[in-house]
Amino acid sequence: MNEINQDIFVCSINELKDAGKHIINHGGEEIVVFWNSGEIKVINNICIHKKRKLSQGFILQNRVVCPGHQWAFNLDSGYCRERDRTQQIYQSRIENDQIIIAFTKSDSVDCFSDNEN
């Protein structure tokens, strides 16, 4: 089976450095791109727990902390070790000082019910 790849332009590297984060919508999903310790990190912006926006949280030790119930997702893996759940992350690259996110057809968001604590 072949996967469909799609590259999406986000913003320039300087725009991200200045703003600290940038939000895009792709395929009905809200994605947040963070500038963290000199690196680009890309994660689904809507928390899998209670649908809060991770972009309104904060970053601590390479983890984005959700403003709702403080679930903390590793920005490299999307994994929340305290809850054993994973938030969708995406790969990015820089071309000519522009940030590009590579999406594939198999990329999907890990969803859980609203009844989860």
> For position 103, what pLDDT does the model report?
84
CATH dotted code for 5-104: 2.102.10.10
Q: What is the DSSP string of 5-17?
A: EEEEEEEEHHHHH
pLDDT in tens, the chain (117 residues): 456 688 999 999 999 999 999 999 998 999 999 999 999 999 999 999 999 999 999 999 999 999 999 999 999 999 999 999 999 999 999 999 999 998 875 544 443 333 333
pLDDT of residue 31: 97
pTM score: 0.83
| Domain ranges (residues) in the chain | 5-104
